[in-house]
Amino acid sequence: MHQGYLQGAAVFTVLIALSAGAGCTGNGNEASIPSLTPAPPPVLPPSTSSLLDMQKNLASGITLSLPTCLPDGFFFTNGMAGLTSGTDPADGTYWLTYTRGQDEMVSLSEQSRNSTTCEDGPEYRPAGSAKILSQRPGASELTWARPGWCFTLSSTLSRKEMEAIAESVQPVPYHEGVIPPFEYQPPAHPLTGNFTVNRSAVDQGITITAETLRCEPEGCTAEVRLGISSPPAFSAPPEITVAPVSPDPHAEWRVDGGRPLLIMSGKGGYRPEGATTLTFWNIEPLPAGSRELTASFSRVRGISGQWLIHIPLNQSPADERMPFDHPVGSP
């Protein structure tokens, strides 16, 4: 039961009251008060990128309800749990987030009806409506209820697709070693090596260059240079360092014409370098034998365009290690 990870959504705070014993003194005799042992906090899964781990770490009696039908290319990317009030995990909220590429997402939240109220029947709220709960721009919401729980599905997909996903949501108990629906699985034989690329595309007067690619079993990192500067957001006194403006690049990565690749968490970001900005993209590991990686950029710093870069993977890897130090933000 979870998700609705609404990107940027408010995180529920867990408040746990702990009792403490105090001694008092009278007539020279100290009153003895037995110490109280605080109840252990509830077992709640932290933010995680593994749906199987989230299931495994749930409190006893809690079973996640998961989408069992999603459009091609969607994978689970993040899960969280929190308590609305009290210490009973059955009164909490569980969030799940699935993404396809960089911009498409499906998030599901499940909240106990002990801590909130909701209508049984489904209600659809299109993006931009006054009652929208999601904080993600362009996302619509679909809400419904089942015995004990209120559900909110938030997505950039169409209403028809969201309704199909909602109909597929059902309890999926944890079983040791059983992979839950839409849990990402890396290739059995990943591509490894360092590649010198140096391929560019030009549009709207801006050049985007894929310079290098490093692939390891855990994932691949591409260094991409954007032909735009990233100056500080505003002028500041010399003793104050101001973060550079994010280049906000949007891109879709595919290998051999397949589905959009996952953008992985971890080390990444961007670094200003004069009139250009070096960005670091962490994508899922590629299968050994992959022939071509394609990067399709659609927006840079609010400027829309079409920058298509083909990266051959059948070349011999370069011997040198790729530089990768001190990125300052997320692409």
Contact 95, 80 (CB under 8 A): yes
Convert the pLDDT of each residue in 130-144 to its tens digit. 555 555 678 999 999
Cα 3 from Cα 16, distance rounded (Å): 23
Buried b or exposed e, range 201-232, using 16+ CB within 10 angstroms: bebeebebbbbbbbbeeebbbbbbbbbbebee
pLDDT digits (tens, 9 = 90+) for 255-313: 999 999 998 876 679 999 999 999 999 999 999 999 999 999 999 999 999 999 999 99
The domain spans of the chain are 24-171, 193-235+243-312
Query: Residue 162 in 3-state DSSP?
Result: helix
Q: Are 51 and 76 in contact (CB under 8 A)?
A: yes
Return d(Cα 244, Cα 97) in angstroms, integer: 29
CATH architecture of 24-171: 2-Layer Sandwich (3.30)
240, with CB counted inside 10 A (0-12, 13-18, 19+), is exposed
**CA separation (Å) from 277 to 130, 215, 263, 304?**
38, 22, 19, 17
Q: What is the pTM of this model?
A: 0.74
What separation in angstroms does the CA of 11 have from each of 35, 47, 53, 92, 150?
A: 33, 11, 20, 12, 17
Residues of the chain whose pLDDT is less than 70?
Answer: 1-46, 83-90, 115, 130-136, 266-267, 315-331
Question: In this structure, which CATH number among 3.40.50.300, 2.60.40.1640, 2.40.420.20, 3.40.430.10 belongs to the domain 193-235+243-312?
Answer: 2.60.40.1640
- Asked if 245 and 231 touch (Cβ cutoff 8 Å), the reply is yes
pLDDT at 92: 77
